[in-house]
């Protein structure tokens, strides 16, 4: 069963704009991670946020976590063409295995 | 630092044939994962190793899939016999002793096509 679900499934924005994608999950978690996958390339870890954290930054990335709503958001500021990729949230439930969502396909338009 | 290495990158086989995938994790990473990724989907965990011990293989279809991690380093995932529905990308990942399900480093994957 799918633990994490990203929203939207697909997103197209102009270069320079900000991109926001969301992830909802069902059960309590240890941590939530975001990964990026470019076309034809492997998955790359972007950021990990633990259940006791509410916000985390890494360069142009900002991740929030709301455990009461069981949701997380990933914000990419000042988007670039190289940000075109699929973005996956992965949840690590307590005492269970990690589960990836289906992903958000982000397309940055020139 | 070398990343996770997988081979082959691509494999095309006839159904009912056997196939094997190989993975070499990042040096010092004692946790190794095998995932299956279908087109348009996220990765699904097949098996997780802590050193040479399989600690989570609940999602591995044991009637046709097998895996091993001899000496707790390299790992091999095998399918015998392959079915049409096994066509997918098989990903290997590893993570450091900091604990399972922290940052994972993924290999490029093996794209399997079963005809």
pLDDT tens for residues A16-57? Answer: 999 999 999 998 898 999 999 997 678 999 999 999 999 999
Phi, psi of B86 (to 5 degrees): -85, -5
- The answer, for A98 touching chain B at a CB cutoff of 8 Å, is yes
Q: Are A21 and A106 in contact (CB under 8 A)?
A: yes
Question: Is the minimum CB–CB distance between A43 and chain B shorter than 8 Å?
Answer: yes
Contact: A42, B108; criterion CB under 8 Å: yes
Domain count, chain A: 1
φ/ψ of residue B114, rounded to 5: -110, 120
Burial (CB count <10 Å: 0-12, 13-18, 19+), residue B37: buried
Q: What is the mean pLDDT of residues B9-31?
A: 96
Sketch the domain layout of chain B as residue ranges: 5-114
- For chain B, the average pLDDT equals 93
pLDDT > 90: percent of chain A: 77
Our CA-based measurement puts residue B78 at a distance from the nearest CA of chain A, in whole angstroms, of: 21
Domain containing A31 equals 5-109
How many Å apart are CA B94 and CA B3, to the nearest integer? Answer: 9
> What distance in Å separates the CA atoms of residue B93 and residue B29, rounded to the nearest whole number?
10
**In Å, how far is A40's CA from the nearest CA of chain B?**
8
Query: Contact A42/B103, CB-based, under 8 Å?
Result: no
Residue in A42, A99, A103 closest to B107 by CB: A42
Interface test with B, best of A37, A43, A56 (most B CBs within 10 A): A43
* Domain B5-114, architecture per CATH: Sandwich (2.60)
Q: What average pLDDT does the structure give for chain A?
A: 92
B81 pLDDT above the threshold of 60: yes
> What is the domain-level CATH number for residue A49?
2.60.40.10
Q: Check A103 against B93: CB less than 8 A apart.
A: no
- The long-range contacts involving A75-81, CB below 8 angstroms and separated by at least 24 positions, are A75/A18, A75/A19, A75/A20, A76/A18, A76/A19, A76/A20, A76/A106, A77/A18, A78/A16, A78/A18, A79/A13, A79/A14, A79/A15, A79/A16, A79/A17, A79/A18, A79/A19, A79/A106, A79/A108, A80/A15, A80/A108, A81/A15, A81/A108, A81/A110
DSSP string spanning B32-64?
A: EEEEEE-TTS--EEEEEEETTEEEE-TTS-TTT
Q: Dump pLDDT digits (tens) for B33-54.
A: 999 999 999 999 999 999 999 9
- On whether any CB of chain B is under 8 Å from the CB of A104, the answer is no
Question: Is residue B40 within 8 angstroms of chain A, CB to CB?
Answer: yes
Judged by a CB distance cut-off of 8 A, whether residue B108 touches chain A is: yes
Answer yes or no: is pLDDT of B68 > 50.
yes
Query: How far A104 CA lies from chain B's nearest CA (Å)?
Result: 10
């Amino acid at each position: 069963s799918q633990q994490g679900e990203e929203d939207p499934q697909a997103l197209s924005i102009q270069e320079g704009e900000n991109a926001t994608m969301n992830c909802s999950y069902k059960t309590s978690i240890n941590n939530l991670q975001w990964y990026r996958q470019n076309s034809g390339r492997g998955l790359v870890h972007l950021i990990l946020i633990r259940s006791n954290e509410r916000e985390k930054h890494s360069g142009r990335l900002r991740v929030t976590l709301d455990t009461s709503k069981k949701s997380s958001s990933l914000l990419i500021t000042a988007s670039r063409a190289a940000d075109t990729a699929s973005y996956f949230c992965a949840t690590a439930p307590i005492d269970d295995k990690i589960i990836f969502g289906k992903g958000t396909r982000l397309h940055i338009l020139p | 630092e070398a990343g996770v290495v997988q081979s082959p990158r691509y494999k095309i086989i006839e159904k009912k044939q056997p196939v094997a995938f190989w993975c070499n994790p990042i040096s010092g990473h004692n946790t190794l994962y095998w995932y299956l990724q279908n087109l348009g989907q996220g990765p699904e965990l097949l098996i997780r190793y802590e050193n040479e011990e399989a600690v989570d293989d609940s999602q591995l279809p044991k009637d046709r899939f097998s895996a091993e991690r001899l000496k707790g380093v390299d790992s091999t995932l095998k399918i015998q016999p392959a079915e049409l529905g096994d066509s997918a990308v098989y990903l290997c990942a590893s993570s450091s002793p900091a604990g399972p399900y922290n940052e994972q480093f993924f290999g490029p994957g093996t794209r399997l096509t079963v005809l």
